[in-house]
Amino acid sequence: MTDIVTDAGASLAAGRGRGGFRLRLPRGVLPHGWRALALPLAVLAAWQAVGALGWTDATLLPTPLAVLGELVRLATSGELLSNLAVSFRRVMLGFAAGTLVATALGALTGYSLQWRAYLDPSVHALRTIPGLAWIPMFILWLGIDEGSKIALIALANFFPTYLNFMSGIARVDRKLIEVGRVNGLAGARLVGTILLPYSLPFLFVGLRQSMGVAWLVVVGAELMGASSGIGYMLMDGEMTGRPHLVMACMIVFALSGKSTDMILAAISRRVLRWQDTVEKD
């Protein structure tokens, strides 16, 4: 019996070996946490070398150091901070407005089958319109200034939060609701004690998706017509043929999106400490 098992295992391994080929990296050269950085650093180094040797056209592909230099220049001149503040404000106001409406409506449709039947299909129908397609309408309605941009971000933010929060509330464990009822909880108290906490994990999933979408949409909004913001700088870099500025702005967007997501993740970890899940981000 044992022999057969061993043979089967061996032939299985052999079969796997025959079909493919082995590509094994040396172990233990880099500590685990650093391995993710190996590839980007190598690419950057090669890129820098190629650029420094003059093999590429600097007006099309600036070297990493040139981009870094541009970032430093933007940061020290105050240009970066003032434009980042504008974009950040748009993202935050849109995010706040979208979240507010989404949680209120999501709570309603999640809790009540009646409201869901009336409202939810319309929400899904609206969702099929791509977010950026609203730009012309919003500009017509709200002008080219802040209003239309914030409205666009708010609208795009609404859907992930609404959908996740609603499904969280709708999925609340009937057994826990019964515990609430036999303990005399009803109405707002039942919502606050059981429904809301139960759906918080879902809400946070929605909020993080929304925040990602907000940074996505702010670029679109600022590209369409703005006189400030990181998206405007990006556009400006294109118009004036400064690829290092364009790349610097791309990096700023990446860092901004990542840091707001990390903040939300940290808040969610704290708030959802009670969750019995494997700890990971």
Footprint of another protein on this chain (CB under 8 A)?
A: 175-176, 178-185, 189, 193-194, 197-198, 200, 273-276
Indicate the residue among 26 and 184 with the shorter CB distance to another protein: 184
Closer to another protein by CB, 276 or 281: give it.
Answer: 276
Smallest distance, Å, CB 160 to another protein? 23
Q: Shortest gap between Cβ of 175 and another protein (angstroms)?
A: 5
Closer CB to another protein, 45 or 186, in the complex:
186
Smallest separation, CB 182 to another protein (Å): 4
Joined together, the tokens standing for residue 41 give 């650093």
Min CB(243)–another protein separation in Å: 50
Give Cα separations from 76 to 80, 129, 189 (angstroms). Answer: 8, 41, 52
Q: How far apart are CA 34 and CA 59, in angstroms?
A: 33
Task: Tell me the closest approach of the beta carbon of residue 170 to another protein, in angstroms.
Answer: 18
Q: Which amino acid is it at 143?
A: G
Nearer to another protein, 3 or 279 (CB): 279
Cα–Cα distance between 226 and 222 in angstroms, integer?
5
Question: What beta strand segments (E) does 17-68 contain?
Answer: none
Task: State which residue, 54 or 184, has the beta carbon closest to another protein.
Answer: 184
What is the secondary structure of 93-135 as a DSSP string? HHHHHHHHHHHHHHHHHHH-HHHHHHHHHHHHHHHTS-GGGGH
